[in-house]
Chains A and B, each alone.
Chain A
Amino acid sequence: MNLDRRLLALLRGPRGAFIVTVALGVLGGLLIVAQAALAAAMVDAVFLQGGDLATIRGAAVAFVAVLLARALAAWGAEVSAFRVAAAVKRTLRARLLTHLEALGPLYTHGERTGELTNTLTEGLEELETYFRHYLPQVVLAAAVPLLVLVLVFPRDWISGLILLFTAPLIPLFMNLIGSIAESLTKKQWQQLERMSAFLLDALQGLTALKILGRSREYIRRVEEVSDRFRATTLEVLRIAFISALVLEWVGTLSTAVVSVGIGLRLLYGRLAFEQAFFVLLLTPEFYFPLRQLGARFHAGMGGVAAAERIFAVLEQPPQVPAGTGRGRAVAHPFPLRLERVTFTYPDASAPALQDVSLTLEEGTQVALVGPSGAGKSTLAGLLLRFIVPQRGEIWAGEHRLAEIPPAVWRQSVAWVPQQPYLFNTTVEANIRLARPDASREEVVRAAKIARADAFIRALPEGYETVVGEQGARLSGGQAQRIALARALLKNAPFLILDEPTASLDPEHEAAIQEGLQALLARRTALIIAHRLQTVTHADKVAVLENGRLVQVGAPDALAAQEGLFRRLLQAREAAA
Chain B
Amino acid sequence: MTNWAVFRRLLRMVTPFWKMVLAAVLLGTATVLSSVGLLGTGAWIIAKAALHPPIGDLNVAIVGVRFFGIARGAFRYGERLVSHDTTFRVLTRLRVWFYAALEPLAPARLQRYRSGDLLARIIADIRTLENFFVRVLAPPWVATLTAVLLTGFLAAFAPRLGLAWLVFFLLAAVAVPVWARLRARRAGQALVSRRAALNAALVDHVQGLADALAYNYAEAQRRLALRLGEEILTAQAQMASLEGAEQALQILFSGLGMLGVLLLGVPLVRAGALGGVTWVALVLVALSGYEAAFGLPTAAAFLESNLAAARRLFELVDAEPAVKPPAQPAALPADNDLRVEALTFRYAPDEPPALRQVSLDLPEGKRVAVVGPSGAGKSTLIALLLRFWEYNEGRITLGGRDLRALLPDEARSRFAVVRQKPFIFSGTLRENLLLAAPEADEARLDAVMEAVRLADWLRTLPQGYDTDLGGQGLQLSGGQRQRLALARALLRDAPILLLDEPTANLDAITERALVDTLLETTRGRSVLWVTHSLVGLEAMDEIVVLYKGEVAERGIHADLLARGGLYSHLWALQSENLVALNM
Contacts and interface: CB of A to CB of B under 8 A. Distances in A.
A260 B375 contact: no
A184 interface: no
B2 interface: no
Given A201-B472, A252-B70, A260-B65, A276 B84 contact: no
Interface in B412-437: 412-413, 415-417, 419, 422-423, 425-426, 435-436
Contacts of B230: 90
A262 B251 CA distance: 27
A421 B247 contact: no
Contact of A212 (B48, B436, B508): B436
A97 B45 contact: no
Given A97-B205, A263-B58, A502-B577, A415 B214 contact: yes
Nearest to A249: B73
B578 A568 contact: yes
B448 to A, nearest CB: 14
Interface string B191-230: 0000010111111111111111111111111100110011
A384 B213 contact: yes
Interface in A222-240: 222-223, 226-227, 229-230, 233-234, 237-238
Contacts of A415: 211, 214-215
B236 A86 contact: yes
Interface string B19-42: 000000000000000110011011
Contacts of B241: 75, 78-79, 82
B245 interface: yes
B10 interface: no
Contacts of B167: none
A238 B84 CA distance: 10
A273 B208 contact: no
Interface in A112-170: 113, 116-117, 120-121, 128, 132
B218 A101 contact: yes
A208 interface: yes
B577 A421 contact: no
B267 A241 contact: no
Interface stretch (A40-48, A338-346, A354-362): A40-48
A230 B48 CA distance: 49
A424 B69 contact: no
Max count, chain B CB within 10 A of own CB: residue among A43, A48, A70, A81: A43
Contact of A229 (B46, B88, B99, B240): B88
Contacts of A219: 96, 99-100, 103
A76 B107 CA distance: 52
A172 interface: no
A244 B577 contact: no
B47 A72 contact: no
B581 A369 contact: yes
A205 B248 CA distance: 50
A463 interface: no
A234 B267 CA distance: 53
A94 B373 contact: no
Contacts of A535: 578
Nearest to B276: A47
B460 interface: no
Contact of A196 (B72, B102, B123, B409): B123
Interface string A410-441: 11010101001111100000000110100000
Given A47-B280, A203-B99, A410-B213, A264 B574 contact: no
Interface in B362-380: 373-375
B222 A101 contact: yes
Given A64-B259, A90-B229, A205-B423, A506 B435 contact: no
B319 to A, nearest CB: 14
Contacts of B262: 39, 42-43
Interface stretch (A302-310, A390-398, A444-452, A526-534): A526-534
A454 interface: no
Interface in A259-290: 259-260, 262-264, 266-267, 269, 273, 276-277, 280-281, 284
Contact of A105 (B89, B210, B222, B386): B210
Interface in B117-131: 117, 119-120, 122-123, 126-127
A456 B313 CA distance: 35
Nearest to B232: A89
B29 to A, nearest CB: 16
B91 interface: yes
Interface stretch (A7-15, A52-60, A174-182, A515-523): A52-60
A203 B210 contact: no
A132 B419 CA distance: 50
B371 to A, nearest CB: 9
B573 A52 contact: no
A407 B220 CA distance: 13
Nearest to B416: A211
A259 B95 contact: no
Contacts of B123: 196, 199-200, 203
Contacts of A47: 47, 50, 269, 276-277, 279-280
A56 to B, nearest CB: 7
Contacts of B100: 219
B80 interface: yes
A87 to B, nearest CB: 9
A276 B574 CA distance: 94
A407 B53 CA distance: 88
B76 A248 contact: yes
A70 B217 CA distance: 50
Contact of A46 (B91, B127, B269, B415): B269
Max count, chain B CB within 10 A of own CB: residue among A208, A227, A277: A208
Given A424-B200, A501-B577, A222 B96 contact: yes
Contacts of A386: 210, 213
B251 A67 contact: yes
Contacts of B73: 245-246, 248-249, 252
A560 interface: no
B141 to A, nearest CB: 21
B74 to A, nearest CB: 7
Nearest to B485: A208
Nearest to A56: B266
Given A47-B277, A227-B92, A421-B211, 8 more contacts: A48-B50, A94-B222, A203-B123, A244-B77, A277-B46, A280-B284, A322-B218, A424-B200
User: 5 closest A-B pairs (Cβ-Cβ)?
Assistant: A78-B244, A259-B42, A82-B240, A325-B216, A505-B373
8 contacts: A56-B266, A67-B251, A75-B247, A77-B244, A233-B88, A248-B73, A280-B43, A532-B577
